[in-house]
């Protein structure tokens, strides 16, 4: 996949996460994908099982999720890393701001391995 398409793929994925659209967010992953939060040594295996449950917890925990200010570092044809800012909010609580970096390895047009390095508390546990 060309560099510009890798950038767009990542931003479409995060738009689905920000919209709390579980089925669309999951559609970016291979069925046997792994999602590792390297900062906290935790790995979720399987798009329709552990990764789905991880997103369900995230979506129920926060009223608002926002990923923005991306810096992408594509490595065509099948890898990209992205640095970005995150804002998570709960009604009645101050917003939580983070700076994260994700490393994506694709299989075809889908994420097969994702490694997350995040500042602050683990929002995905």
Token pair listed for 111: 């994420």
Report yes or no on 35 lying in a domain. yes
Report yes or no on 125 lying in a domain. no
Tell me the C-alpha distance between 116 and 101, whole Å.
Answer: 6
Q: What is the CATH number of the domain that holds 61?
A: 3.10.450.50
Q: Specify the pLDDT at position 91.
A: 84
Tell me the C-alpha distance between 4 and 111, whole Å.
Answer: 16
Q: Specify the pLDDT at position 120.
A: 87
Continuous H helices in 43-105: 52-61
Q: What would you measure as the largest C-alpha separation in the chain, in angstroms?
A: 44
pLDDT, one tens digit per residue, over 18-60 is: 999 999 999 999 999 999 999 999 999 999 999 999 999 999 9
Q: Specify the pLDDT at position 125.
A: 77
The chain-wide mean pLDDT, for the chain, equals: 96
Number of domains the chain contains:
1
Report yes or no on 82 lying in a domain. yes
Q: Which residues contact 56 (CB under 8 A, 6 or more apart)?
A: 22
Report yes or no on 90 lying in a domain. yes
Report yes or no on 124 lying in a domain. no
Report yes or no on 123 lying in a domain. no
Structural domain boundaries, residue 8: 3-118
């Amino acid at each position: 996949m060309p560099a510009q398409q890798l950038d767009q793929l990542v931003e479409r994925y995060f738009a689905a996460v920000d919209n709390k659209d579980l089925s669309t967010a999951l559609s970016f992953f291979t069925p046997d994908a792994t999602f590792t939060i390297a900062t906290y040594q935790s790995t979720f295996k399987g798009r329709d099982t552990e990764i789905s449950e991880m997103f369900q917890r995230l979506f129920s925990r926060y009223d608002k999720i926002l990923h923005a200010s991306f810096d992408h570092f594509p490595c065509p044809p099948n890898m990209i890393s992205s640095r970005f800012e995150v804002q998570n909010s709960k009604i009645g609580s101050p917003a939580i701001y983070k700076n994260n970096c994700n490393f994506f390895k694709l299989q075809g047009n889908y994420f097969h391995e994702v490694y997350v390095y995040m500042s602050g508390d683990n929002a995905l546990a």
